[in-house]
Structure 1
Amino acid sequence: MTDRLQPGDTAPAFTLPDADGKPVSLADHAGRKVIVYFYPAALTPGCTKQACDFTDNLELLTGAGYDVIGVSPDKPEKLAKFRDQESLKVTLVGDPEKETLATWGAFGEKTMYGKKVNGVIRSTFVVDEEGRIEHAFYNVRATGHVAKLIRDLKI
């Protein structure tokens, strides 16, 4: 089992390609709060619902000082198709090597349909302006998670 991040931990740095293949770093967002969410796969029903929920609430979140980055093990080409097909406005980055996923505790053993498997653990983190974990949510649900996050953050 990968170690899980806790509030107060320093958010692990990453630089990953976005849907256009351009590098996106957590450090690019220094001085702003960032919601980093990890999801299993672009173009799947649950992940689409979650990405659309973030897009639908992006104006509210950015207005409250939060940037949003979605991370999956997908390659940029698939992320571009996902973004274009669903008109997504959130920044999507790919981690095909799953190194960032593992570092954030978002890849490892999970139970799926009653069986233990290795895979992406749907997780969301709120990183403060100084790069520290403010909130760490593991095993979140794709549906309703963004609304709950907005309530938890009192936005």
Structure 2
Amino acid sequence: AGLGASVLGVSRDDCIRHGEFRDKHGISVRLLADKEQTTCAAYGVLQDKEVDGVMRKSMTRSTFVIDKQGVIRHALYGVSSRGHAAEVLQLVALMSKGELN
């Protein structure tokens, strides 16, 4: 998009599952495996969720816009795919103009 941004995905899945997911959905985003959940925990996307009467850790689908200095400029939690790419593109454009704090 000419905005100097990179898009990465992070999940607890392994690299093989990531490849299957990308192939199934036809996406080219780089996906990073966080099997130890350290990155997921650091970004606050793990939450307790009851499944079949048992509490388990689940991930909240989230997006973070991070500047070149590594500062999180915007965080979106509980996102859905509909319209999400356009919203993120708008946020990155604002950041590239220095209008996103």
- Report the TM-score, using the length of structure 2 for normalisation: 0.74
Cα distance between partner residues in 1 of 2:79 and 2:50:
13
Aligned to 1:109: 48
- Give me the CA root mean square deviation: 2.4
User: Against the structure 1 CA distance between its residues 110 and 133, is the aligned structure 2 distance closer, same or farther, given a 3 Å change threshold?
Assistant: farther
Name which one, 1 or 2, has greater alpha-carbon Rg: 2
User: Against the structure 1 CA distance between its residues 90 and 150, is the aligned structure 2 distance closer, same or farther, given a 3 Å change threshold?
Assistant: same
Query: Where has structure 1 moved over 4 Å in runs of 4 or more?
Result: none
> Deviation of residue 108 (structure 1)?
1.4
Q: What SS does the corresponding residue of 2:6 show, helix, strand or coil?
A: strand
Structure 2 portions without partners, runs of 5+: 95-101
Alignment of 1:3-152 (within 5 A): 60=1, 63-109=2-48, 118-152=57-91
Number of matched pairs? 91
Cα distance between partner residues in 1 of 2:56 and 2:17:
23
Cα distance between partner residues in 2 of 1:134 and 1:111:
31
Q: Is the 8 A contact 2:22 2:28 kept in 1?
A: yes
> Deviation of residue 99 (structure 1)?
1.7
